[in-house]
Amino acid sequence: IEKIKADGFEAEAHKVTTSDGYILEMHRIPHGRTNKDTTEDRPVVLAMHGFMSASQAFVMLGPEKSVAYNLADAGFDVWMGNARGTKSSRAHVSLNPDDAVQKYEFFDFSWEEIGMLDLPAMIDYILKTTGKDQLHYIGHSQGGTVLLVMASMLPEYNNKIASAHLLAGVGYQDYFPDEQLTQSASMTDVIYYTALQAGAVELFPPNSLQMLPDDIFQWPAYCLGNKNMQYMCQIFGISRITNNYNAATDQPGAALKQMAHYGQNIRDKLFRRYHYGAAGNQEKYGSELPPKYDLSKITTFVTMHYTLNDNLLDERDVLAMVADIPKAVARQVARTSFEHVDFVAAADAKELVTDYIIEEIKNASQENNFTDNDQVIVVDSPPTSAPGTDSSTEAPDDAASTPAPDDAPGGAGTMVLNVYLILLSLYVMLK
């Protein structure tokens, strides 16, 4: 809130409580710097952050380049969510996340709960507060995942979403690009339950970084100057543009179960609910296997923005999701070096992504050109290495996955495992 005000925008903090008791904080920018007429009818936009991120992701590039500021200056009423477990939403009506016993229940959630419980609570609150019937949605990475979960599991919420723009929205992971991370994902359940036994339920709890030696987690220097750390920063959505980012105080946190759920989906090559084992699944779902998320139930208009240089999302998975969502298109970013985190962290994201979204929202009142299973790859300025615009989502069985960036370290696949092991070590050391 303080940063938004310092950048010259009006800012509001709003609290909403979910049906299961989590107290979430949303940040609102009701108007831009010049268009301050509050009586003006403004389209409402909800922006949802990625994994290990928070609302700050949409304002960290400053007044001229940040997604939220660009939207506000374009005449929109901008709301930014903070998922349960993040720094701003690390509260509950009865559970204490810092209690040695209660923390297990507090952090027993993955991104499914964010999609099925947090998003509906936020959307209902925003619509009630603004008096609107619908809002526009922007989700980066996990912010896309949770929209897919909500719109498929709670289809009645499709009518409340005027349009959805998913920025590297992670869902299908049949062709997960990083082979080393895929290997690590095979150990997801073992790593997660080992962490639980050691008392580690949360990624980077408050003050965890301040308690370490000063030279270990100097994120700005490491993200800019060390290739291994650049790759790790990319995976966790930590910006390489770090002038206004202090990881020691701003790192938002997340539940380990969120990462474990992604690991299961990568391992199983299925976009489905959390796998509790045959007995646990039978008790929770009434079947030995967890149900898949049915994207055919999503009836809102979805644009999936993607890049060829994404180490966490393959183009074929994007096109497969577009094929299964009745009213969806895919839009390829017109820079081949554009990366997963660049949607919120790159200086040229405004020209390559945000400006397009602004025009789409402004034109949303006009007749929509979506048709069932419309699979259009839109490239503003086709790069020389871009694939053709064939709408087919079929790929040969022996097709190779899109490679990770050339400068990615060879040991990147051990990073997820190393993070868990680091957390376990920190827990023992700091206990």
Active site residue 340: yes
Q: What are phi and psi of 136, to 5 degrees?
A: -100, 145
CB 223 within 8 A of CB 209: no
The structure tokens 């009213």 sit at: 327
CB 274 within 8 A of CB 261: yes
Active site residue 89: no
Of 31, 136, 165, 340, which is the active-site residue?
A: 340
Judged on CB neighbours under 10 Å (0-12, 13-18, 19+), 373 is: middle
164 has which bridge partners?
Answer: 137, 302
State residue 379's pLDDT score. Answer: 52
- Domain 2-430 in CATH: superfamily? Alpha/Beta hydrolase fold, catalytic domain (3.40.50.1820)
Residue-range domain boundaries for the chain = 2-430
Full-model pTM: 0.82
State residue 415's pLDDT score. Answer: 41
Nearest to 140 by CA among 77, 75, 203, 80: 80
Instruction: State how beta strands 77-80 and 44-48 pair.
Output: parallel
State residue 376's pLDDT score. Answer: 53
The structure tokens 């408050």 sit at: 206
Spatial separation of the C-alpha atoms in residues 176 and 312, rounded to whole Å? 6
State residue 156's pLDDT score. Answer: 97
47 has which bridge partners?
Answer: 80, 138
Spatial separation of the C-alpha atoms in residues 240 and 256, rounded to whole Å? 23
State whether the Cα torsion 51-53-57-60 is positive or negative.
negative
Please report the DSSP string for 106-159 in residue order: HT---HHHIIIIIHHHHHHHHHHHHT-S-EEEEEETHHHHHHHHHHHHSGGGGG
Q: E strands, 314-419, where?
A: 328-332, 377-378
Spatial separation of the C-alpha atoms in residues 74 and 40, rounded to whole Å? 13
Of 66, 141, 152, 184, which is the active-site residue?
A: 141
Q: What is the pLDDT along the chain (431 residues), one digit of tens a residue?
A: 999 999 999 999 999 999 999 999 999 999 999 887 766 789 999 999 999 899 999 999 999 999 999 999 999 999 999 999 999 999 999 999 999 999 999 999 999 999 999 999 999 999 999 999 999 999 999 999 999 999 999 999 999 999 999 999 999 999 999 887 888 888 899 989 988 998 889 987 776 554 444 444 444 444 444 444 444 444 444 444 333 445 444 567 899 999 999 999 999 999 999 999 999 999 999 999 999 999 999 999 999 999 999 989 999 999 999 999 999 999 999 999 999 999 999 999 999 999 999 999 998 755 455 444 445 555 554 333 333 333 333 333 333 333 333 333 333 333 444 454 444 444 333 33
Spatial separation of the C-alpha atoms in residues 308 and 379, rounded to whole Å? 12
Q: Buried b / exposed e across 171-206, counting CB within 10 Å, b at 16+?
A: bbbbbbbbebbbebbeebbebbeebbeeebbbbbbe
Active site residue 141: yes
Spatial separation of the C-alpha atoms in residues 303 and 362, rounded to whole Å? 15
Helix (H, G, I), strand (E, B) or coil at 286: coil
Of 73, 310, 314, 342, which is the active-site residue?
A: 310
**CB count in 10 Å sphere of residue 61:** 23
